[in-house]
Amino acid sequence: MDRHITSVKNRRYLHPYFLAGLVPAGFFLVFYVYPLAGIFLKSFLPEGKLVLLPLDQIISSPRMMKIIWFTFWQAGISTLLTLVCAMPCAFVLSRYAFRGKRIIKTLASIPFVLPAVVVAAAFQACFGTRGFFFGVQINSPIALILLAHVFYNFSVMLRIISGFWSSLQGRIREAAMVLGASPWQVFLTITLPLLKPAIFAACSLVFIFCFSSFGIILILGGPTVSTIEAEIYRQAAHLFNLPLASFLSILQIGFTFALMWLYTSFTRRAVRFSPEGEQVNLKHPVCLWEKILIAGVVLFILLLCVVPLLALVTASLTHGGEWTVSFYTALFENTSDSIFYIPPFHAIKFSLLFAGTALLIALATGVCAALFIRFSDQKFSNRWTSLFDPIFMLPLSTSAVTLGFGIIITLDKPPLNLRTSIFLIPIAHALVGFPFVVRAILPALRSIPDHLADAASLLGASPLKIFRFIDLPLIAKSLVAGSVFAFTISLGEFGATIFTARPETPTIPVAIYRFLGQPGVMNYGQAMAISTILMIVTALSFVVIESFRIDSSEGF
Amino acid sequence: MKRTFFLIMISLMVVSFFACSENEQKKETAKNAAVDIPTITIMTHDSFSISKAVVSKFEEKLHARLVILKSGDAGEALNKAILSKNNPLADVFYGVDNTFLSRALKADMFVPYSPANLDAVDTALKLDPENRLVPVDFGDVCLNYDIKWFDAHQIPPPAMLEDLIKPLYKDLTVVENPATSSPGLAFLLATISRFGQDGYLEYWQKLKANNVLVTNGWKEAYWGKFTAASEGDRPIVVSYASSPAAEVFYAEKKPDKAPTGVVIENGSAFRQIEFAGILKGTPNLLLAQKAMDFLLSPSFQEDIPLQMFVFPSNKEAVLPKVFEKYAHITEAPALLDPQLIGTQRDAWIREWTDTLLQ
């Protein structure tokens, strides 16, 4: 009897889903834990002597406390604002079918890919002194930061919530209506509680994104405001105060971990329901107020996401008040014969190649991680299994400069002599993309009833077969949602901290930065032109990725 | 069907990616195998540039393949070099400036070497007597102003640092944060050189009262706030004395007159000198020395102006026309002892931050 139990227990460790966990674990250990451990050791134990934690420097410095407070404050407010903007839009997108819905959704996702310096230029054009946004002027750095965060993250919130919302069963709602509940009552007591998992998933992602926001803070916020991430960069890259930078990195990782752990333990207890297809619930607008509502939402998305993008397109097509394509034609000329000249098609090619590779790595590791997490949820009652989910989210909020320094001092010997390899680029991008994949497919995986797999396995299906024919089709749509974000993150990544700017493998963001590095009208115009190309490439990629989507929602 | 199509697309992309990089590696190995060509790596910052023609000359002369590793902005690149000093990423490091000189020398990671042509370099630029780091280029950080704006408003453009604190110039200036920007730091050093360690904070207080705007980096200041280059409302910006030449060179139709002017008299410009040196532990010491020779040779030195918009350190290098006409050399630039900068930099930045940003 005892022997039998042991063998069952051992078999759990040999199950393919458990072994799948080795893939993300290995990836994570080699490219995340090992470099970070290296740089932390180097910071706190240079030459074998312990440098005392600069804790007193932090607590005694009002500036540092202000930075920590501001980091939380701006992330919280940004998340709330994004939620407030996205909820009505998500309602309309999940309830109604109307023409141009896809285009609107695609347009709303483009900001996600733009480098911060380009967004700053767009905002300057919209809200600056000569701004063309109906005379509205915004000069307060904090207002600009919040606006930019909403601009960036709106689509994340919109996609996650509207996807989930559209799969809610209409029957419960209708039953409540029949029983005499007012629309508000239905929303507050039925829809909202059911939406909770999606709202919290979206908020946690957006919060972590804003929490570790870097470019936006440095560029739009200016020097009077700072976040932990921006301060780490300042301490590491300019003041070379490694102990303080490392300490702040650990602090940031700790905060994120605590937050994600709270979040995952919360979502485990969330209400479950069997999702329904989108088509079932979609309505065509009939009465006037429905049409007004849709028009209002479309107008809002256009104003929020599209007007700043149009400002960039306009800047790329005008010079001295006249329309011109000279900035685009100039992209094809190497004015200074520099070896760092980037032919536009090269930049597009390498951007897509890196993003494609990063996406594949993120998908492979992300799917394995999600399978492993679900498997250990089911088979192990130990508390430690609940730690994996939050751990896999950490790369999202880890300071890139700290990780970059870590890679330099650790991945420098064969067989891992990767610090100057081009493969490091997609790997680094995938590290940030794979939490999105995990976040996207885990709820879908968890909603698959156990008895499906049990039945299949009784009939003799191997675990791999079960994955291929049961799990994979059911998570396919969530997989696409995760892919969109993983791909976009890589496409927009400037990746200054890793050695990307080798002349042989340029990307579009690298080209943008190159143009903005020197004065001159042509440089600015070409930066705007190649930014416009980045937007077009992104939009087209979305169309390709989404064509893979079968039907129904992205259930996060 | 769609799914299969998508998967095929992605796989194709990745296969071609691997094929590309493999091809490149093959090309490299083929090249290496054919004549056994060694590689020489120069580690530098993101603003580095060199023309194709000069790279070919370099590779012909040295019989080596040149690899350039861009490693972030000036501070970041140096810190990466320091972190990897036990197992260096490159043979030569290019781009330590005089504000970081003492940090670089303290790290003890450069091999002394006096390249050919060092005699042709202005002695005022040579700051390391042991020649572990030798000057390759220099640029003067100073105020740039929008000529059109000042004409339109009938205000004389500023002539010296003291002008900026006059009521006439209220709300007109944007500068960079010295904690995050190297021209920002250079400009702070110009004010310290001009007003002394005791007087510079008072100057900055008055500048603050005159509503100076501070951004974190040069890009945000120049492309975001400077009237001559953006939708911004500040006609005075901290940039380089060679920026007007770039404005002309990168104009759509080459103008006769640069759109921007510079303030370089009366000690208002700080000279930023960039150094290069051989990294300790290079397996190719001889080759690295030849590379250093090349960096000071006329072919590379004459390439510097239009590639990086700074001046060559070799006095014998001939400047391009657009540079001679529109870039300005300061007769008497502000300079500070790098030793002093090394010991005081962090304190100055802290004091400046407390004065301006609190």
* Higher-pLDDT residue of B61, A215: B61
Structural domain boundaries enclosing A407: 14-52+324-549
Model confidence, pTM: 0.85
- Residues B264 and B302 reside in one and the same domain: no
Total tally of structural domains belonging to chain B: 2
Q: CB-based contact (8 Å) between A524 and chain B? A: yes
Measure in Å the smallest separation between the Cα of B233 and chain A Cα atoms: 7
- Residues A144 and A231 reside in one and the same domain: yes
- Residues B158 and B72 reside in one and the same domain: no
- Residues A47 and A80 reside in one and the same domain: no
Note whether residue A8 is domain-resident. no
The secondary structure of A38-50 as a DSSP string is HHHHHHH-GGG-P
Measure in Å the smallest separation between the Cα of A135 and chain B Cα atoms: 14
- Residues A48 and A70 reside in one and the same domain: no
Q: B92 phi and psi, to 5 degrees?
A: -130, 140
Q: What DSSP designation does B133 have? A: S
pLDDT given for residue A225 in this prediction: 86
- Residues A478 and A340 reside in one and the same domain: yes
β-pair partners for B110:
B279
Structural domain boundaries enclosing B197: 139-271+329-357
- Residues B217 and B89 reside in one and the same domain: no
- Residues B186 and B95 reside in one and the same domain: no
Locate A193 and state its tokens: 């509680």
Burial, B35: exposed, middle or buried (Cβ in 10 Å; 0-12, 13-18, 19+)? exposed
Q: Are B107 and B280 in contact (CB under 8 A)?
A: no
- Residues B240 and B115 reside in one and the same domain: no
- Residue with token string 């769609």: B2
- Residues A112 and A43 reside in one and the same domain: no
- DSSP count for chain B of H helices, then E strands: 13, 11
Note whether residue A409 is domain-resident. yes
Three-state SS string over B149-162 comes to HHHHHCCCCCCCHH
Query: Whole-angstrom Cα distance, residue B310 to residue B327?
Result: 9
**B40, containing H or E segment:** strand B39-44
| Domain-ending residue, one of A258, A282, A312 | A312
Note whether residue B111 is domain-resident. yes
Instruction: Please give the residue of chain A at the shortest CA–CA distance from B305.
Output: A336
Q: At what angle do helices A116-127 and A141-166 cross, to 10 degrees?
A: 110
Instruction: Please give the residue of chain B at the shortest CA–CA distance from A473.
Output: B3
Note whether residue A225 is domain-resident. yes
| Domain-ending residue, one of A285, A312, A339 | A312
pLDDT given for residue B1 in this prediction: 46
Taking residue A373's Cβ as centre, other Cβ atoms within 10 Å add up to 25
Task: Band the pLDDT of A556: cuts 50, 70, 90.
Answer: very low
pLDDT given for residue A261 in this prediction: 84
Surface of B (234-293) touching A: CB under 8 A: 239, 243, 246-247, 249-252, 260
- Residues A93 and A24 reside in one and the same domain: no
- Residues B118 and B165 reside in one and the same domain: no
Instruction: Say if strands B236-240 and B173-176 run parallel, antiparallel, or are unpaired.
Output: parallel
Note whether residue A226 is domain-resident. yes
pLDDT given for residue A279 in this prediction: 55
Surface of A (458-487) touching B: CB under 8 A: 476
- Residues B115 and B150 reside in one and the same domain: no
Contact: B51, A338; criterion CB under 8 Å: yes
- Residue with token string 């410009």: B269
Total tally of structural domains belonging to chain A: 2
Q: Are A554 and B280 in contact (CB under 8 A)?
A: no
Point out the residue among A121, A222, A334 whose CB comes nearest to the CB of B223. Answer: A121
Note whether residue A555 is domain-resident. no
SS3 A279: helix
Q: CB-based contact (8 Å) between B233 and chain A? A: yes
Q: Which residues contact A139 (CB under 8 A, 6 or more apart)?
A: A127
Instruction: Please give the residue of chain A at the shortest CA–CA distance from B234.
Output: A129
Note whether residue B227 is domain-resident. yes
Note whether residue B62 is domain-resident. yes
pLDDT given for residue A553 in this prediction: 41
pLDDT given for residue A554 in this prediction: 41
- Residues B207 and B338 reside in one and the same domain: yes
Lowest mean pLDDT among A249-258, A276-285, B212-221: A276-285
Ranges of residues in chain B whose predicted pLDDT is under 50: 1, 22, 25-33
- Residues A406 and A484 reside in one and the same domain: yes
Chain mean pLDDT for chain A: 82
Using a CB-CB cut-off of 8 Å, the residues of chain A touching B47 are 517
Query: Whole-angstrom Cα distance, residue A281 to residue A85?
Result: 23
pLDDT surpassing 80 at residue A548: no
CATH of residue A458: 1.10.3720.10
Nearest-CA neighbor of B75 among B213, B167, B154, B177?
B177
Note whether residue B19 is domain-resident. no
Using a CB-CB cut-off of 8 Å, the residues of chain A touching B84 are 408-409, 412, 419
pLDDT, tens only, A30-70:
999 999 999 999 888 877 777 766 666 676 778 888 899 99
pLDDT, tens only, A468-518:
888 887 777 778 878 888 888 888 876 544 554 566 778 888 888 888 888
Across A231-252, average pLDDT: 87
Q: B123 phi and psi, to 5 degrees?
A: -65, -25
pLDDT, tens only, A72-113:
999 999 999 999 999 999 989 888 888 888 888 888 888 887
Amino acid letter, residue A533: I
SS3 B31: helix
* Higher-pLDDT residue of A187, B142: B142
> Complex ipTM, two decimals?
0.82
